[in-house]
Each structure stands twice: as C-alpha cells, then as structure tokens.
Amino acid sequence: MSKQELEVIGQDAACCPGLSAAPLDEVQAADLAKVFKALGDPVRLRLMSMIASRGEAGEVCVCELTPAFDLSQPTISHHLKLLRQAGLIDCERRGTWVYYWVLPGVLERLAAFLTTPHPARASA
C-alpha cells in the first residue's frame, strides 16, 4: 500500500535548482509537472487540504473524505491514488478503514522550489 510514489520533491536533497534558479531541463520539468498536475484539480486540492489541515502526523479516514463531495466513491478513490502517485500523500489500512496523511516535508519542499531565488549573478 506504499511505494509507488514519485521521488521528485527530493526527500533528502533540494530536489532541483528551484524554479527561478535556472531554466529547468526536460527531465526535471516533467517530474515536477506531475506534482503540480496532481494539485491542479479542485477535488484533489480539497482532498489535500482536508488531509493537510490535520496538521503534522495527522491522518484522515477515507470514510470522512468521501461524503464531503458530491462524487461517487470510486472517483474519490481515484483522486487519492493520483495524489499518492505524485508523492504527496501516503496511506495505511487499519482494519476496515484506510487512513491518509501528507508525506512530511513535501509541501515545504514544493514551496522552497517556487521561491528559491535565482543566483543574483554577481556580474550584473
């Protein structure tokens, strides 16, 4: 039920130069785009928000997520899968229920990627 995510937002190192640091090469862009694409849907953004608002080490049961939407249960399950494949969340089954949480540090690394300034070239 784990290990299927991307390793894009680096976990260890600073994933990549930063958006403004230098032009991204095709590989970096393709990997990062998957993460942003995962966030680029209203349902998935709300799911992320509902999970993330539980705070550090917080969890949410799927049974709390599904009824918050006007969508079928398979659809919610599908969106959760995409968020997981993007490396944003993970889940664990406990008894009958499945709990989701935000992978620690992912949001911080994404934010850092967006704001890392370019290396204000000394020559200019």
Question: Rule CB under 8 A: which residues touch a copy of itself?
Answer: 19-24, 26, 29-30, 32-34, 36-46, 48-50, 52-55, 68, 102, 107-108, 110-112, 114-115, 117-118, 120
Distance CA 55, CA 61 (A): 14
72 binds, among a copy of itself, DNA, none (CB under 5 to 8 A by kind): DNA
Distance CA 93, CA 97 (A): 6
Residue range at the interface with DNA (CB under 7 A); choices 14-22, 64-72, 101-109, 116-124: 64-72
* Torsion angle defined by CA atoms of residues 50, 53, 59 and 63, in that order, rounded to the nearest 10 degrees: -20
